[in-house]
A and B are shown apart, each in its own frame.
Chain A
Amino acid sequence: MTDGSTFAGFQATLLRVLVPVALALIVGGLILLVLGKDPVGYYGYVLERSLLRWGGAQETLTRMAPLLLIAAGLIVAFRAGIWNLGGDGQFLLAAVASAALAPVFIGILPRGLTLVACMLVGSLVGALWSVIPAVLKARYGVNEIITTLMMSFLGTSLANVLIKLVLRDPDTTVPQTRSLPVDDRLPRLFGTTIHGGLVLAVLTVIVVHLMMTRTAFGLKLQVLGANRAAAVHAGFRVERLILAAFALSAALIGLAGAVEVLGVWGTVRADWNPALGLLVVPLVFLARFNGFAVIGFTLFFSALMVGGESAARRVGVPQHYVLVLVALLLLFLGIVEYLDQSRRKSGTP
């Protein structure tokens, strides 16, 4: 709500986050031990590969860009009480649309304009893919969890079909869209491999956070999320708010898809689906819909992913073990939260 956390409040919040992180790492380590792996080795390897080595660190930061943009989209929706779980479909369709258009645009437009146009198209496609669940929810009160998941399923399939049947690059054997040349992609930052999408993503998260906490629109969304009857009573245009929140959320997720294509891949292959939409959901909850906290958790998660992938090859711990750690983290955050509340309830200081 208000942003005025005092220093003591900030400290307490930090503690509420750090304790669960530590517990998750410890329990995760114990599980590794039981599986006969060396936890210290594993964590050390993950840390080294993802943050301490320059190459790994660049990879970690690059991976953050789409995660952050998706998180921004989810913050908008979740704060408004809208469960947009259709991120994967919105992401992929936007990715495909911008991948298809970028090579065409680059022939007629300057590079900067091409990139901006493709990002706009990506956002638009994402937003469009949320229209049906949005209208169903606003008008008829249809539960958006089901409709967005269904649209997501449709969207990922449609993306595949489009690549295989319509947008396929005839020059490649694997079905994929025509590639955008590396030099025409999003600019790299200061000679690193990190692309400018990261800056855009960080800024977007911060802007979204400020929008939610410091503007009338953000407050209206929060009221809607907290008590729809009060939103009606206060005279907000609830239907329009739902449509707007949905569109904005999906547009940001679409932007994530566009940025990932324009910054990293330059093309979309058939059957490519990083499925980030649902991966980001727990991060947004961990951060309690707070934009700044989201940046921290995304960094943590991104590092785990990058390090976990290398570790999968070297230490023999499957890559998905990272998800176990995230799940443990979520669990411990919940437990710490619960203990904290019941301690407050029973009044012991």
Chain B
Amino acid sequence: MSIVAALSKVTKRYPGTVALDAVSLEFRAGEVHVLLGENGAGKSTLVSLLAGMQQPDEGAILVGGQTVRIDSPRRSMDLGIGAVFQRVLLVPSLTVIENLMLGGSWLRRLAREPALRRFGELAQLLGTHIDPDAPVSGLSLGEQQQVEIMRALWRDEKLLLLDEPTSMLTSHGVADLGRSMRRLRDQGVALILITHKLLEAFEFGDRISVLRLGCVAGEIAPQRLQAMSEAQRTETIIRMMFGIGVGGEGGPADGHEAELAILLGHKIHGPAIIDRARPPVLSVREASTAADYTETPLHEVSFDLWPGEVLGIAGVDGNGQKHLAEMLAGQRGVRSGLLRLGDADITHGHVPERRQRGVRYVTDDRLGEGTVGKFPVATNLVLKEVGASPWWRHGFTNWDLIHRHAREQIKSNDIRTPSELTPVNHLSGGNVQKVLLARELDAHAAVAILNKPTYGLDLHNQRLALDRIGAAAARGVALIVISTDLDELIEISDRIGVMFQGRLAGIVDNDDRAADIIRRLMTGAATV
């Protein structure tokens, strides 16, 4: 099979980090090449080199056998490389079709008709139903990502880079994406797929490479991949990803066997003991939110939450989960209904008041609203406490204390960053999430709402995040975990509620029959 693009001994450094260290890889036509690796391993950096966002410090990039210099995104497109990034990069005020037409040469008149035709082809190829004239700001994150994929495929690209495209999609959307990836592959396109989900890697990948600390830790060619069982693949890859030697070889490897077991998905925390005879910590009664054009509003949602309980919220993305989270956090007004936290009526409390009472919210829009990208990690760690003691006294900032606090948090939460002064948007996706978790699951949390807490995290950090959720519950924190990943919810929740069209279609106890009922509730086919 012909090699479309290749990296030869490519090195890329950032202040304080070697993101890629003499990496050599080849990407072949008609092949889905999956890149795996822990958070910060250098996957996105590799993509940004091919996409012309960054230039390598050393080594060469070859496209079609020629050494090329990809010094701009436009050059990358001219070379037939399309990319979908981890962060959505659309212009929110423009419509879908306008965003897609932006890629064209600016000398030519923007031609709507051919653009609409191309949009139709791609919509069919991807199996999406998006209105081309809808403003992008009105689309869900999942839909926005579909538009990103269309843009990357717009000019019949020969190499398609997909940096964690599935993290925001529903399982249905993932299956659709998988189908279109196969079609593209069969047309001879080379695809690079980055994901943290091993099952996706196995299902869609023809070849798997693992990056670790900026180096290629291993590559599994198609024949070998097919010959392995799923358990073998999983273990091999996890060992490569986290640098765990094969057991029995001696050395420090043995000590990692326990960790390997955790990574392979064994429960750490037993079920927390929840005393439902005691009053609930949070009561929500017939709460509704006002409609706006971006998200489904809530309609008369009621539930109770007890200390130490994990309430999972399942449902297809865009069924009111965002409003639920924002309403509980105090970021969005309650139109009607009642919210009680302990003895206090907090229906009309704003974010600072609720935060002071122990309400925490980990948003899924980490760089959009969860952090200020160009501000240091340290500042972001106290972003929701601005003005509060001990960091502020009479309104004056104690930077020393804030920085010291940040160094402690960086250490105890294993946040990979050169320093506490590094702008948070220089961190890899998974490490940004660690910053948020550190900020929100602090010692004073009473009720925490977590929206898609593990998306973008590598296996290890997923386990750590779930572990932190379990530990918080064991401390008596009541948690609401919103996720589109049902398996994950089943693993950690005590009860699981299902959102459908802005209503809480039902709450079920997490037992053996839960999965079936939830799947039916999710499609609106049943109510409880």
Contacts of B13 in A (CB 8 A): 347
Q: Please report whether the interface of chain A is mostly helix, strand, loop or mixed according to DSSP.
A: helix
With A226-B374, A235-B330, A235-B384 already in contact, the answer to whether A214 and B396 are too (CB < 8 A) is yes
Contacts of A16 in B (CB 8 A): none
- Contact of A234 with B386 in the complex, beta carbons under 8 Å: yes
Cross-interface CB contact of B399 among A2, A229, A347, cutoff 8 Å? A2
Contacts of B247 in A (CB 8 A): none
Per-residue CB proximity of B58-91 to A under 8 Å, as 1/0? 0000000000000000000000000000000000
Q: Does A172 reach chain B (CB closer than 8 Å)? A: no
Q: Does B417 reach chain A (CB closer than 8 Å)? A: no
- Contact of B376 with A348 in the complex, beta carbons under 8 Å: no
- Contact of B54 with A217 in the complex, beta carbons under 8 Å: no
Question: A305 → chain B, closest Cβ, in Å?
Answer: 34
Within the assembled complex, what's the spacing in Å between the Cα atoms of A184 and B53?
62
- Contact of B371 with A230 in the complex, beta carbons under 8 Å: yes
Q: Does B409 reach chain A (CB closer than 8 Å)? A: no
With A2-B399, A216-B387, A226-B372 already in contact, the answer to whether A233 and B355 are too (CB < 8 A) is no
- Contact of B55 with A347 in the complex, beta carbons under 8 Å: yes
Cross-interface CB contact of B397 among A214, A234, A347, cutoff 8 Å? A214
With A230-B370, A234-B386, A235-B330 already in contact, the answer to whether A215 and B396 are too (CB < 8 A) is yes
Per-residue CB proximity of B472-488 to A under 8 Å, as 1/0? 00000000000000000
Within the assembled complex, what's the spacing in Å between the Cα atoms of A265 and B396?
38
Residues in B350-366 with C-beta less than 8 Å from chain A: 350-352, 355, 361, 363, 365
Q: Does A341 reach chain B (CB closer than 8 Å)? A: no
Within the assembled complex, what's the spacing in Å between the Cα atoms of A232 and B378?
19
Q: Does A83 reach chain B (CB closer than 8 Å)? A: no
Q: Does A219 reach chain B (CB closer than 8 Å)? A: yes
Per-residue CB proximity of B369-403 to A under 8 Å, as 1/0? 11111111011000110110000100111010000
Per-residue CB proximity of A188-219 to B under 8 Å, as 1/0? 00000000000000000000000001111101
Within the assembled complex, what's the spacing in Å between the Cα atoms of A3 and B399?
9
- Contact of A220 with B372 in the complex, beta carbons under 8 Å: no
- Contact of A220 with B387 in the complex, beta carbons under 8 Å: yes
With A223-B386, A348-B57 already in contact, the answer to whether A234 and B351 are too (CB < 8 A) is yes
Question: A216 → chain B, closest Cβ, in Å?
Answer: 4
With A214-B399, A219-B397 already in contact, the answer to whether A234 and B374 are too (CB < 8 A) is no
- Contact of B387 with A230 in the complex, beta carbons under 8 Å: no
Within the assembled complex, what's the spacing in Å between the Cα atoms of A233 and B386?
12
Contacts of A347 in B (CB 8 A): 12-13, 55-57
Residue of B nearest to A211 (CB): B395
Contacts of A234 in B (CB 8 A): 351, 383-384, 386
Per-residue CB proximity of B192-223 to A under 8 Å, as 1/0? 00000000000000000000000000000000
With A216-B386, A233-B331 already in contact, the answer to whether A227 and B397 are too (CB < 8 A) is no
Contacts of B397 in A (CB 8 A): 213-216, 219
Contacts of A226 in B (CB 8 A): 372-375
- Contact of A227 with B352 in the complex, beta carbons under 8 Å: no
With A223-B386, A230-B371, A235-B330 already in contact, the answer to whether A216 and B57 are too (CB < 8 A) is no
Q: Does B342 reach chain A (CB closer than 8 Å)? A: no
Number of interface residues of B (CB under 8 A): 36
With A217-B395, A223-B383, A230-B383 already in contact, the answer to whether A235 and B372 are too (CB < 8 A) is no
Q: Does B368 reach chain A (CB closer than 8 Å)? A: yes
Contacts of B369 in A (CB 8 A): 227, 229-230, 232-233
Q: Does B421 reach chain A (CB closer than 8 Å)? A: yes
Within the assembled complex, what's the spacing in Å between the Cα atoms of A222 and B383?
11
Within the assembled complex, what's the spacing in Å between the Cα atoms of A220 and B375?
12
Contacts of B383 in A (CB 8 A): 223, 230, 234
- Contact of B370 with A233 in the complex, beta carbons under 8 Å: yes
Contacts of B12 in A (CB 8 A): 347
Cross-interface CB contact of B386 among A2, A236, A346, cutoff 8 Å? A236
- Contact of B363 with A233 in the complex, beta carbons under 8 Å: yes
Contacts of B384 in A (CB 8 A): 234-235
Residue among B55, B397, B399 having the largest count of chain A Cβ atoms under 10 Å: B397
Within the assembled complex, what's the spacing in Å between the Cα atoms of A216 and B399?
11
Contacts of A219 in B (CB 8 A): 379, 386, 397
Within the assembled complex, what's the spacing in Å between the Cα atoms of A227 and B383?
12
Cross-interface CB contact of A229 among B368, B379, B387, cutoff 8 Å? B368
- Contact of B372 with A346 in the complex, beta carbons under 8 Å: no
Residues in A319-349 with C-beta less than 8 Å from chain B: 345-348
Q: Does A1 reach chain B (CB closer than 8 Å)? A: yes
Question: B165 → chain A, closest Cβ, in Å?
Answer: 23
With A229-B369, A232-B331 already in contact, the answer to whether A216 and B395 are too (CB < 8 A) is yes
Within the assembled complex, what's the spacing in Å between the Cα atoms of A236 and B376?
19
Within the assembled complex, what's the spacing in Å between the Cα atoms of A3 and B387?
18
Question: B351 → chain A, closest Cβ, in Å?
Answer: 2
Cross-interface CB contact of B351 among A2, A215, A216, A235, cutoff 8 Å? A235
With A230-B370, A346-B55, A347-B55 already in contact, the answer to whether A1 and B375 are too (CB < 8 A) is yes
With A223-B386, A235-B331, A347-B13 already in contact, the answer to whether A1 and B57 are too (CB < 8 A) is no
Contacts of B365 in A (CB 8 A): 229
Within the assembled complex, what's the spacing in Å between the Cα atoms of A226 and B375?
9
Within the assembled complex, what's the spacing in Å between the Cα atoms of A3 and B376?
12
Contacts of B361 in A (CB 8 A): 233
Contacts of A222 in B (CB 8 A): 375
With A219-B386, A227-B369, A346-B55 already in contact, the answer to whether A2 and B331 are too (CB < 8 A) is no
Residue of A nearest to B397 (CB): A214
Contacts of B370 in A (CB 8 A): 230, 233
Residue of B nearest to A346 (CB): B55
Question: B57 → chain A, closest Cβ, in Å?
Answer: 4
With A229-B368, A347-B13 already in contact, the answer to whether A220 and B55 are too (CB < 8 A) is no
> Footprint of A on B, CB under 8 Å?
12-13, 54-57, 330-331, 350-352, 355, 361, 363, 365, 368-376, 378-379, 383-384, 386-387, 392, 395-397, 399, 421
For the A-B complex with A217-B395, A227-B369, A347-B13 known, give 20 more contacts whose Cβ atoms are closer than 8 Å. Answer: A1-B375, A1-B376, A213-B397, A214-B396, A219-B397, A220-B386, A220-B387, A223-B383, A227-B372, A229-B365, A230-B369, A230-B370, A230-B372, A232-B331, A233-B351, A233-B369, A233-B370, A234-B383, A234-B384, A346-B55
> Footprint of B on A, CB under 8 Å?
1-4, 213-217, 219-220, 222-223, 226-227, 229-230, 232-237, 345-348
The 7 closest A-B pairs by CB, nearest first: A235-B351, A216-B387, A229-B369, A347-B57, A233-B369, A346-B55, A235-B352
Question: Could you write out 18 A-B pairs with CB less than 8 Å apart?
Answer: A1-B376, A2-B378, A3-B399, A215-B397, A216-B392, A219-B397, A226-B372, A227-B373, A232-B369, A233-B351, A234-B384, A235-B330, A235-B350, A235-B351, A235-B352, A237-B350, A346-B54, A347-B56
